[in-house]
Structure 1
Amino acid sequence: MLLTATPHDGSRESFASLIEMLDPTRVPDPEKLHRDDIEDLVIRRFRTSPEVMEALRSAIPPRELNSRTFPLSEKEEAAYATIAELKLDLDADAPENRVIDLFRTTLAKAIFSSPAACLETVKGRIGRIERGTARGSEADRQKLAELADLLASIEPTDFCKYQDFLRLLKDIKWIGKNPRDRLVVFSERIRTLEWLEERLTADLGLSPEAIGRVDGGSVEADVTTQKVLEDFGQEKSALRVLLASDMASEGLNLHFQSHRLIHFDLPWSLLRFQQRNGRIDRYGQDRTPQIYYFVGESRHPKVRDMWVLEKLVEKDEAAQEGVGDPAVFLGAGDAEGEEEIVARAVSNGRGAEAFAAEMDERAAHVAKDKTVDDEFDALFGDYRGVDISSAGTSTTAPDAEMPPRLFPDTFAYTEAMLQRLTEPNEDVFETAPDVDRDARLISLSIPDDMMSDGGLGYARTGEVDDRYMPVEAVGQGNTIELSDRADVINTAIAQAKTEEQSWPRVQYLWDGHPLLDWFGDRAGTFFPEMAAPLCSLRGRLAEREVAVILHGAIPNELGAPVVDCWAAVTLRNGRVAGVEPIGEFVARTGLSRSIPNTGKPDEQLATEALAPAVDAFQSHLVTLRKQRQADIDRSLNTTLDRLACLEARFRAQLELKFADAPDDGSRLTIQQRRQKTRRENRSTEIDAMFEDFAAWHKSRRRMADDPNPFVAIKAVFVG
């Protein structure tokens, strides 16, 4: 299984590579994915999917999206107007249909961020023109120098977006005192983040420790970034404002102490907008996520027509309300492709309404024309998964009965095991574990055989072996606390946020906790090797009735069990009376309740019952194997037929790709020989791939035809 919460980058090839990791036979041509080939391999849900919305409704408050509008100052108007009307010789050399390469578009993107970012961009280009390392005429240099003077004249008081940002902080009464009210501020430009750090320190009276920056722009970024992010999540940290570039827009949890996110500039991509918002608007957020962005109001018509980014926000909201994947509005599927489309709208100056209509038209086209072979749908469709259970393709036993629980829950089992392991002859714990039934809390010291010897892994001698749990998860004195109560765990997680630790002091006790694996290892020492417990069940079984508990499995050639069975074979007067499912036996005898093991059972009677019980159970397993084999054979035939169809498509694609490659090896040019060799090599690869997969499918289904499969005697009960 391959699980991710990150959208793929929209590339056909990269998506195909993910599919090939699961099953390479499904991708004859990475550039042409067919949805019906991969639908049973993919499940894709959006936050707007009904089942996801239902799950999140009680866990995450609905977010608030707030637009802040402000008029541009006179100096800003002059700079914006200059950029909107700017005609540069260097833009004439830009690649056709690549508006993102137009320097005027680059300037627009920079000024939308901040005058400081735009000034840095302008000065950088002037310097490269003067050094002869970048395109640009002398006329371009002069125009850019005039623009630089305009930008340099914009003081902080003239920078109206920043002034509105300060007003926003006053409106929400943010003064930086509350450790659980931290701000995440995003900008695409590192220079803008640097400028904000300088100004906020001065204008808000914040200490340098109160502002952290994550932008990847420094040599020591890898070292400092992790520290800043950890501090931002710790309640005791002095950090109050996180200034972040889009390097922090993906995969980070910033919601522990923050529920306010500010887009100081809007990204030119819906995907980036989603990724940013997801840093605080995510599972585990306990307050209403509040998201803010700014929209400038210009008096210049060309500037107004360039300002289309707020329409991206509207489409993201539409997606949240039920469209599904916002990618349908721009149709690119990756951030760079989306930026290209937005840049074209900015450069063309079509205006916000025309841009919105264009996005709506694209989304409607996708919804109307989507088919199973549609390229966009194959990449970005809402995959619900395919239920193949009724098709007989499963190779695991459909009715395999799991052993019933003899304890009401994991807590009770853990308590019983700890009680057994504290017996003097076990010599496991120096201090007896503390079990609080009312609080559902268990505290114990790590036993010696869970400690590291320093030979493997990262744990040092004297620390817990990191194969069991991370060293950071263990408390002082090598103790751990366990609970099966979710509220206790959530409280411990919240407490960890206020301390300088990344793990809560209480661990969740469930069947997958590594302590239970350790219990299993220790239980194997309770009885001598090749021995099983002999117990009395007087009053639950008839006089001299014997029940032998057995487990047997018949594996496939890969060692995975195909038939897996637990049962109780009962014998009366030395003869087999029946093979009873283990669940029925436990229910009939009340074995899951507390039953005294009184009196000494007849050991000879029990011993004499073993051979006939094993014979009967082996015959039962063989019968189960034959029943499963009939289903498996039908499944295998279906699978091999599908592989044959896929192989034919691989062959067709091979012929199409190398249609011009000659078959005759005589008198060939060097290029023709290379092409012929590539075709032959690819043909050999296809042969090997399908032969391997056919063999693998057969080995998954083929079971040993053994009339006497191995069985294990787990316990014997005598009435």
Structure 2
Amino acid sequence: MNSEKTTTLNHNLTIGQRISTRGEDFIVTGTNTNHDGSQLLEAEGISELVKGKRFSFDTNLDTDIKPIDPNFTTLIPDTDSGYRKTKLFLETQIRNSAIFSDKITIATKAAINAAEYQLTPTLKALQLPRPRLLIADGVGLGKTIEVGIFLAEMIKRGKGKRIMVLAPKSILAQFQQELWNRFAIPLVRLDSDGIAKIKSQLPANKNPFEYYDKTIISIDTLKQNAKFRHYLEKSRWDVVVIDECHTVANDRSQKGDLAQFIAKKCESLILTSATPHNGKKENFANLINMIEPTAIPKNGEYDKSHVEPYYVRRFKNDIADETVRANFQERKIVRSSASLSVDENDFLQYQQELKFLAIEKIKEGNEQKSKNDFLFSIGLFKGFMSSPLAALESVKRRLEKVKVKNNSDDSFEDNVEILETLKTKIEKILSAKSDTKYKKLKETLLGLGWSGKKQDDRYVIFAERIKTLEYLRDNLKNDFKITDEAIAYFHGGLSDSEQQNIVEDFGKQDSTVKILLCSDSGSQGVNLHYFCNRMFNYDIPWSLITLEQRNGRIDRYGQKKTPFIHYIIAESDIDGLKTDLHIVDRLTKKEEEVYKTLGDAGSVMKLYDTDKEEKFIEQAFLKQNENFLDSTAKAMVDFDFSTLFNNEDDKTAVLVTDNPYEQPTSIYSSDFKYYEALFEQLDSAKQLQHKEVTVAEDYIEIVNTKDLNQILFDLPPESKPAIGSLYKLSLDKDLVQKSIEDARKKKGAWAEFQVLYDLHPVVRYFMTKLEASVDKDVALVAKSKIFPAQTSWYIFQGQIANNLGQPVLSDFYVVGLNDDGTIHRKTLDLNQFISEFKLSEKLFTETITEEDLANLQSILPDAVEWAHSRMQEEQQLLEGNMETKMATYQTKIESWHAAAIEQLEIDFTDKSLGNYWAKMKDNKQREIETILSSSSQYFQDLTSLQGQPYLKVIAVFYNS
């Protein structure tokens, strides 16, 4: 090779190429050719001032654009003791570079005790062309942790800069804190308070999704605000997470349509739900199609083979690791019997007479009217079994409507006489205070020694009706003489801020709330287990799914005490009523059976939808069938989902690989040694203010200066210490997790300590500062006798990008040359180089002469050529693998397309091709062709490596 070699700049720029313009470096992510042969370039910044930002350039206007050429790197000597700066710069380049692996690389450094089952979603997603997955684990298994692991790994791969999380409004703050405290992933919360703050801080026309890279918002907020749709249309994300995704499964709903739209605006997509389907085959297909549009055949007929690559679903009984199971406590069920009072029996006797009268008429054939009467009587029963006040409210509302309409007739719900009778009987129960279920609740609380005082335990009480919550609140306050501060109630009518405040307060040790009254709006996703281990189902929902969700609020991963689930079971010997009460009681027993064996409450009735389950229970009342759960409701649903989620041979219950961890490359013996050296270097180079950073034995304190506060403007305000106060970062995960627990002692407090690792925004800031201390076209030189005499060792970073502008390979390796530029050692991996020459050990600084530098500079093009040769070999090998993947995918998508067109012809065979049907067919065909075209183009761009490999000289070691 010729040491006089020079490189000719190529101005026909391609995607993936690195360019320099306006004094900064960029990667080309898109190109268009103008009619005059010039180019329009889409690019993303990669040097310090522009890193991560997106730009557009016109080569007619930006005439200084040129590809970055490693041959023009300037070599300068490192004069620091022990070549600390060279080592740090090299290590920081390694840590800041995107990694490309299908294994776990960094997430286990977060503040979690990662269970292997929690790694599986990420490991499985990384095997897909685009990491997109449904996490459908059962209630309480820690789906938020699994999401955090995935996001951390995407950020490490350079594919998680822009993130949007969609979550129910009640858990926005909870989700936000969990990701910050454990993973240092900063999400700006766009709830009603957050949006109000943004309006006061941002110009009216500023898109908050462009201003903040990482946000969390509820889909209801997006749905209700037309301006947000406008913002969404102009935004793209690296990752979108949709929590409780079953709420968006219906693509004909406003929420579903919005979710389908957002799914097309991101590279990676994570959907989560413990109840991932509602029994409708089409709705579940919609979720899978959000993940992969060609997964489901157009005829709608799919099986496990079509969807298995795109989901994980596990339950407690799938977790074999005993250390993990120790994080779940064995629940205890407490069943209390309440024999109904004379007044209650009187009311329910009348209700039963109405019910049987309706049933008789149904049998006689007068079906519709009698069915309405039956439903009215059952509704009375359900309302009353929630509370007498809830039943009274329903009766009074109906009575008012009937009197306004003035059309009393034979139907029960429009019969003034019946309604007045019902009203009188309920009012008698309330005035006589003969509500035995409430008396049993009060007796149970007294028996537990509870009085609502400061030292007492706190309890959750679930009930369906808001009137029941009000009834309980008023009675408990009166009977236990407790203050307003000791009792709170949560329901869907509260604003997002009110809901979040209640949940946060209840999860704090200093909370004054001793009883939390909850409607079923609080049964999904909300953590209520931190300082509570006792829950009452004051009424029993007619849905096993809802019951399982309720119980999962305190019986979940991380509960430290035995969870006690209380049921108050009404008893009566009245014919019919006794059966109805047994039917309701059977639900509680079946939920417990499922908990101990199957793991999935939805699999019992096979209806997978709370409304359908309630209707099934109504049929049990109609038929007076106490054994309704012994037979399946399968006939009522269009598809048996157990064929998809049977775990007997399901690989998602175990790890995808036996070796899930990627071994890192590092010069330092420990992470702390690196961070210690980093801050020593910045301090000695006068890049830190006086006492800005304090390095202690096991943690680091960093002052939140005005400059740092401004630079980290997009951290959650609650996570930032006041200016002049400290960020406290530690490698001790136990300390950080204790800090998280300590933060639960006081309302409004966030964890004092955060995890010290490369993804923390504060740490990344100082790592970038170290990077910036070496000019972008400079490489540091170190001399040492540990290397063979008359040799030089050039360390390169090489990257290969696809046609989407995404790096698909990043490699650090070393070229060894003799002093005359001939090869001494063909390229070797950096790991091998560090180990062989013991770079982790202390080096001694030696004098580097101008003559030595000149020689190193003169043979640099030879090192570049050898390095480029290695990258071309890797690119060719990668292209071969990519071509195989492309051929496999093309066969799959063409098969999907052919089947879709065939199904289209079948669907329209019997329809006359008038204007309406012709247009309908044309729309369907256009949709198919669009999916084919966009999917084919995407995968072609994903697997095409046409750009030149990127090379950067990081450092040079030598011995003269």
Fold match, TM over 0.5? Answer: yes
List per-residue Cα deviations over 1:181-205 (Å, max 9, x = no partner).
Answer: 2111110011111111111001111
Partner of 2:845: 597
Contact 1:400–1:565 (CA under 8 A) maintained in structure 2: no
Tell me the residue number matched to 2:160.
none
Distance 1:133 1:520, change over 3 A: farther
Q: How far does the alpha carbon of each residue in 1:354-386 deviate from its partner, in whole angstroms, 9 at most, with x for none?
A: 12322xx569x99xxx9xx96423665556459
Amino acid in the other structure paired with 2:502: V
Cα distance, 1:388 vs structure 2: 13
What CA distance in whole angstroms lies between the structure 2 residues aligned with 1:386 and 1:72? 46
Which amino acid is the alignment partner of residue 334 of structure 1?
A: D
State yes or no: 1:149 paired with 2:415: no
1:203 aligns with 2:479: yes
Q: What is the rounded CA distance, in whole Å, between the counterparts of 1:72 and 1:651 in structure 2? A: 64
Q: Which residue of 1 aligns with 2:318?
A: 49
What's 2:752 paired with?
A: 505
2:624 alignment partner, one of 323, 342, 349? 349
For structure 1, the 5+ residue unaligned runs are 391-397, 453-463, 664-671
Paired position in structure 2 for 1:107: 380
- Write the mapping of 1:241-256 to structure 2, written as runs, cut at 5 A: 241-256=515-530
Residues 307-366 of structure 1: CA deviation (Å, up to 9, x unaligned): 112222222222222313211211111111111111221233222xx12322xx569x99
**Residues 21 and 179 of structure 1: is their aligned pair in 2 closer, same or farther, counting only changes over 3 Å?**
farther
Partner of 2:225 in structure 1? none
Give the structure 2 partner of residue 456 of structure 1. Answer: none
In the alignment, is the contact (CA less than 8 A) between 2:802 and 2:947 conserved in 1?
A: no
1:599-627 Cα shifts (integer Å, max 9, x gaps): 32632332233111111111111112222
Aligned residues: 673
Aligned to 2:348: 80
The reply on whether 1:641 has 2:641 as its aligned counterpart is: no
Shift in alpha-carbon separation, 1:31–1:639, aligned structure 2, 3 A? closer
Q: For residues 411-450 of structure 1, what are the structure 2 equivalents within 5 Å? A: 411-423=672-684, 425-426=686-687, 428-437=688-697, 440-450=698-708
Kept in 1, the 8 Å contact 2:779–2:953? The answer is: yes
Residues 109-118 or 314-323, more deviating: 314-323
Cα pair distance change 1:14/1:410, threshold 3 Å: farther
**Equivalences for residues 222-241 of structure 1 within 5 A:** 222-241=496-515
Q: Which residue of 2 aligns with 1:618?
A: 868
Q: Considering only CA atoms, is the larger Rg found in Structure 1 or Structure 2?
A: 1
Change (3 A) 1:133 1:499: farther
Q: CA deviation at 1:688?
A: 2.2
Give the distance between the partners of 2:746 and 2:806, measured in 1 at CA.
45
8 Å CA contact 1:33, 1:378 repeated in 2? no
When residues 304 and 388 of structure 1 are mapped into structure 2, their CA distance, relative to the original with a 3 A threshold, is closer
Which stretch of structure 1 is more off in the superposition, 13-22 or 328-337? 13-22
Whether the 8 Å CA contact 1:536–1:599 is kept in 2: the answer is yes
Is 1:174–2:414 an aligned residue pair? no
Cα distance change on mapping 1:74 and 1:232 into 2, 3 Å = same
Q: What is the CA–CA distance in structure 2 between the aligned matches of 1:19 and 1:286, rounded to whole Å?
A: 36
> Counterparts of 1:513 and 1:5 in 2: how far apart (Å)?
28
Q: Using a 3 Å threshold, how does the CA distance of structure 1 residues 231 and 146 change in structure 2: closer, same or farther?
A: same
- Give me the whole-angstrom Cα distance separating, in 2, the residues matched to 1:98 and 1:546: 90
Q: Which has the higher contact order (CA 8 A, sep 6+)?
A: 2
CA distance in structure 2 between the aligned counterparts of 1:321 and 1:399, rounded to whole angstroms: 30
Post-superposition CA distance 1:51-96 (Å, at most 9, x none): 5x75641223222221111211111112222212215679978759
Partners of 2:496 and 2:686 in 1: how far apart?
52
Residues 509-536 of structure 1: CA deviation (Å, up to 9, x unaligned): 1232122321332122222230011012
Deviations for 1:272-307, whole angstroms, at most 9, x for unmatched residues? 111111211222322111110111111113111111
The Cα of 1:639 is off from its aligned counterpart by: 0.9
Instruction: Render the CA deviation track for 1:457-490: whole Å, top value 9, x for unaligned.
Output: xxxxxxx6343x3221122434211112122112
Structure 1 equivalent of residue 327 of structure 2: 59
The aligned amino acid for 2:836 is R
Q: What secondary structure is seen at the aligned counterpart in 1 of 2:449?
A: coil
Q: Is the partner of 2:689 in helix, strand or coil?
A: coil
CA distance in 2, matches of 1:527, 1:233: 47
> Would the aligned equivalents of 1:117 and 1:189 in 2 still touch at CA under 8 Å?
yes
For 2:833 and 2:593, locate their aligned partners in 1 and report how far apart those are by CA, in whole Å.
Answer: 57
- Native 8 Å contact 2:580 2:624 kept in 1: yes
Partner of 2:563: 289
Deviation at 1:236, TM superposition (A): 2.0
Match of 1:69 among 333, 337, 344: 337
| One-letter amino acid matched to 1:160 | T
1:548 is aligned to 2:816: no
SS of residue in 1 equivalent to 2:600: coil
The one-letter code of the counterpart of 1:530 is D
Offset of residue 573 of structure 1: 4.0
CA distance in 1, matches of 2:954, 2:448: 67
Separation in 2, partners of 1:276, 1:252: 10
Instruction: Write out per-residue CA displacement over residues 438-472 of structure 1, whole angstroms, 9 at most, x where no aligned residue.
Output: xx1211112554322xxxxxxxxxxx6343x3221
Cα deviations across residues 34-54 of structure 1 (Å, max 9, x unaligned)? 322221112222233235x75
State the alpha-carbon separation in 1 of the partners of residues 489 and 534 from structure 2: 16
Residue matched to 1:569: 815
In structure 2, what residue type is equivalent to 1:36?
Answer: S
Give the superposition deviation at 1:30.
Answer: 8.0
Map of 2:397 onto structure 1: 124
Which of 145, 154, 158 is 2:434 aligned to? 158
CA contact (8 A) 2:349 2:574 kept: yes
Post-superposition CA distance 1:198-254 (Å, at most 9, x none): 11001111111111111234xx65453333323222222321111111111112111
**What do you get for the CA RMSD once the two structures are aligned?**
3.1
Provide the C-alpha distance between the structure 1 equivalents of 2:406 and 2:670, rounded to a whole number of angstroms. 72
Distance 1:328 1:401 in 2: 38
Q: What percent identity do the matched residue pairs reach? A: 26
1:676-687 aligned within 5 A: 676-687=918-929
Q: State the match for 2:293 in structure 1.
A: 24
CA distance in 2: counterparts of 1:536 and 1:410, whole angstroms = 25
**Separation (CA, whole Å) in 2 of partners of 1:99 and 1:325:** 33
